[in-house]
Amino acid sequence: MSKYVKNLVSEHLRGRLGGVQDALLVDVIGLDANTNTRLRAVLREKNINLVVVKNSLAARAAGDTPLAPLFTGLEGTAAVCWGGEDVISLAKEITKLTKDAEFAPFRARGGVMDGERLDAAGVERISKWPNRLEQLSILAGQILSPGAVLVGQLSSVGGALASQIERRGGEEEETAG
């Protein structure tokens, strides 16, 4: 490949990865064409991109970006996945697909999150974390919980007082009547 073509491919890859902060490295070796197409369709439905890259060109394209640690010392064929809601959702989806028998040779090789390199075990580990939506629901529950407890305590006391007043009101009517 000529230097001109390498620069073109590198610039194209830099454009595709522009703005990407977190990505995962996956292995697609061993997938036949039909399985590869189905895998890409499943990933596309989840708004996840998959690109097979040449290591040296990918390292050149990501040289001064947060993705640079992803390609340092990389050997063998590599495919990069990015997208989804956040890196945790991406890791959850990739981990789920690696366990699917239909995509058997597909596996996670590592990744980069917040500028730090992850190994395959790290990808598995972060796939068990709550994603952004789950974190927001946990936070909302923690914010609303004290108020709900207070309302429950106030309404229980108020309910007890109302039932005592109602019972006393019923007793006075019986004695008056």
Domains of the chain: which residue ranges?
A: 3-129, 130-177
The domain over range 3-129 is classified in CATH as 1.10.10.10? no
Alpha-carbon Rg for the chain in angstroms: 28
Show the low-confidence residues of the chain (pLDDT under 50).
none
User: Cβ distance 105 to 25 under 8 Å?
Assistant: no
Full-model pTM: 0.72
Rounded-to-integer distance, Cα 93 and Cα 43, Å: 8
Rounded-to-integer distance, Cα 31 and Cα 79, Å: 12
What pLDDT does 92 receive? 93
What pLDDT does 147 receive? 80
Tens digits of residue pLDDT in 135-153: 888 888 888 888 877 777 7
